Amino acid sequence: MARVVVDVMPKPEILDPQGQAVANALPRLGFAGVTAVRQGKHFELEVADDVDDATLAKIAESFLANPVIEDWTVRRVEA
């Protein structure tokens, strides 16, 4: 078994109102110096060893992310 991490982020040109809300809240909570926040999704997949990179890319692109509005990355990590 391998652990695979898929990160999904809104594309830079897509408005991210959730990230903006977090960024706006930080000064109110007394945290200075954070100029921007973007919010995305982080998936951790436990994957059998025979699942190849092309399949993982297909999972990310066709299901976990919507490429119209989101970018994605896939990486294998130490479990």
Partner 1 sequence: MRVGVITFPGTLDDVDAQRAVRYADGEAVPLWHGDHDLKGVDAVIVPGGFSYGDYLRCGAIARFAPVMQEVIEVANKGMPVLGICNGFQILAEAHLLPGALVRNHKLHFVCRDQWLKVENNSTAWTTRYDKGAEILVPLKSGEGGYQADEETLKELEGESRVAFRYVGGNPNGSRNDIAGITNARGNVVGLMPHPEHAIDALTGPTDDGLGMFLSLLDTLVKA
How is 21-71 classified by DSSP, letter by letter?
HHHHHHHHTT----------EEEEEEE-TT--HHHHHHHIIIII--TTTEE
Residue range at the interface with partner 1 (CB under 8 A); choices 13-21, 28-36, 52-60, 71-79:
13-21
For the beta carbon of residue 26, count every other beta carbon within 10 angstroms.
14
**Secondary structure of residue 20 in the 3-state scheme:** helix
Name which of residues 16 to 75 contact partner 1 (CB under 8 A): 17-18, 21, 63-64, 66, 68-69
Number of chain residues interacting with partner 1 (CB under 8 A) = 12
Nearer to partner 1, 14 or 57 (CB): 14
| Bridge partner list, 9 | 71
Q: Is 51 or 69 the residue whose CB approaches partner 1 more closely?
A: 69
Residue numbers of the site for partner 1 (CB under 8 A)? 10, 13-15, 17-18, 21, 63-64, 66, 68-69
